[in-house]
Chain A
Amino acid sequence: MTEAAATTTQPRVSGTRPSWLVVAGQELRDLWLSGKGLALMLAYTTLLSISTYLIAMNQELNFLEQREAVSLTLQLAVVVGALLVVLAAADAVSGERERGTLESLLLTPASRRSLLAGKGLAALSLWVGAFALSIPYIWWIGRDVGTFGKALVGGLLVGTLLALVVTGIGLLVTTFSQSNGVSLAISFVVLLALLAPSQLPAEAGRGWAGELLQRLDPFSAGLLYLERLIINAHPLSQDLELLIAPAVLALASPAVALLLGGRLSLLPRSGS
């Protein structure tokens, strides 16, 4: 064996850095340095600017109270942030599969779960970026009503829980999707289905069935929590029971995705 061969990387089962961190680092670089993440942030900022302008106009015309305006902006930031995260998570495996780059990753000793975990972390970074960008908007709209601090904490809490929920969903769908289009479509439909109860008229939320649905659906419960926090000026700790479903799903969804991610294969139905 030549010197070159002898000094080549020696195989190791465990490295100096866990493989999920290595994957996350590379995915973050790919996402943010390739321009994809920045393009998404630009689109997000544009959307937030337009909506803030419209909300401010309504405020000027007294159609909206200032607290309502803050709540609306915060809810928009949380929902669009979740949308960005699910788009990235849904591309994580099926995108690699479609581009032919998955095979070389699966050939490494890194476990399937660590690949998924790293990719999931990178997808979550979009939420962090989106929330950071929304901070000035929330501050500007709510500058006179003293809700900035609560909005920040509440938004970060609810948004992170919902981002975790959709990350798990996106990873689960992408793991078993043959094509990227299918994965993105399914994930988007699931996101819409989760959002739907929060868009129902107020009457639908009355009665035990409506209330149960509102509490079980993570988006309805999370957005309702934010609404009460900002509009009703409830303290952060008052409606925490509303966050039970989002919190449980924020743990369960990625956990299930990682658990089933052990079956991640080159061909989704090969059973390998």
Chain B
Amino acid sequence: MSVTAGATGQVGSAGAPGATAIETKGLVRSYGRRVAVDGVDLQVSRGAVLGLLGPNGAGKTTLIRLLSTLLRPDSGSFSIAGVPHTEPRRIRLHVGVLPESPGYPRSQTGEEWLTYHGRLYGSPRAEARKVARRLLDEVGLGDRAGSMIGGLSRGMRQRLGIARALVNNPRVVFLDEPTLGLDPFGQRQILDLVTRIAHDRGVTVVLSTHILAEVEQVCSQVVILNHGRVVADGTTTEVVRRAAAPRAGVVRVPSHLRDKAVHTLTSLRLVSDDATLDGSPDEVSVQLPGDEPVEPSAEKAIRGLLDAGVPVLGFSLEGGRLSDAFLAVTRGAGDD
């Protein structure tokens, strides 16, 4: 499984032929003079759970609308499950979408609504109803199948929306901010559902969200958009390593050996200018060189201290979270 993406066009291995669920090449879409999606190259493998991140106005929703054929690209091309973008009706057979702010017919029941959509995909009424019931069970709404949608809670409606996205047994599912406006319990339910869908059905899931913890929790791959361009991509670890590798750390040593530790680390050029941490007589602040990989530098510091006879009671790196990477690559992005 691989995700390779970049505004510069580098596309990596996608595994075995035919294993690509989504492929875009130089995708561009503008609204008037504003470029919403600017030369996006993506390659997402089958079965991946891709986190699509970016600040407001980064182009996430536009990208999803392009890939689900609701919008036409100004230039570039894409394919979904091998179907080129020039065949939008065929693509729609293979994608399921939970839109960003979906509306629901308040005076229909969940079962009616899903049955209707199933029939629009060509199923006979009886079969569509059977599938609707099964999907309602799958998203935990089996006991509310006959309730009017207007009477469902926001979380229930979101789960109904996910059921709608699965009504055609899609190969790729786009979920645009599925946990928006939900309480922590509702968020938990949706994320569990997303994980289950990806695992049980083996579909490719593209999860657009602002909540980075969600991505770290459920996504195998990450793409960060900024001003319509891909600014980071890969696994969460890769993105963090490339964009926000930790450069600072704290070493904990016996307090009576602290000065010796500072001396040792200074000689190794690994101590920060302000080595003393307030109120922490047993801790030394470490600054790792920015031009070297993190792990060897950290190892060098620990080994140097041990060689100097200073026991290392603890060593922790600061930063290195997805949120650090996100901030690093989207710095300066406004709420446009």
Residues in A lying within 8 Å of B, measured CB to CB: 1-2, 4-5, 7-17, 19, 22-23, 26, 30, 34, 96, 99-111, 265-266, 270-272
Contact = CB atoms under 8 A, between A and B. Distances in A.
A14 B123 CA distance: 9
A4 to B, nearest CB: 6
Given A11-B94, A103-B99, A104-B102, A16 B70 contact: no
B159 to A, nearest CB: 15
A36 to B, nearest CB: 9
A9 B123 contact: yes
Contacts of B92: 107-109
B65 A8 contact: no
A104 B201 contact: no
Contact of B122 (A12, A26, A107): A12
A116 B115 CA distance: 20
Contact of A108 (B94, B120, B127, B169): B120
Given A4-B138, A26-B116, A104-B117, A270 B107 contact: no
A180 to B, nearest CB: 13
11 contacts: A1-B201, A1-B202, A4-B138, A4-B200, A5-B169, A8-B131, A13-B89, A101-B104, A107-B68, A108-B117, A109-B92
B124 to A, nearest CB: 5
Interface residues of B, number: 45
A110 B92 CA distance: 9
B119 A271 contact: no
Given A4-B138, A5-B169, A101 B103 contact: yes
Contacts of B101: 100
Nearest to B131: A9
Find the residue from A2, A9, A11, A16 having the highest chain B CB count within 10 A: A9
B185 interface: no
B124 A2 contact: no
B254 to A, nearest CB: 56
Find the residue from A2, A101, A103 having the highest chain B CB count within 10 A: A103
Nearest to B66: A272
B103 A15 contact: no
Contacts of A10: 169
A9 B168 contact: yes
Given A9-B121, A34-B107, A103-B99, A272 B71 contact: yes
B95 interface: yes
A250 to B, nearest CB: 28
A45 B120 CA distance: 35
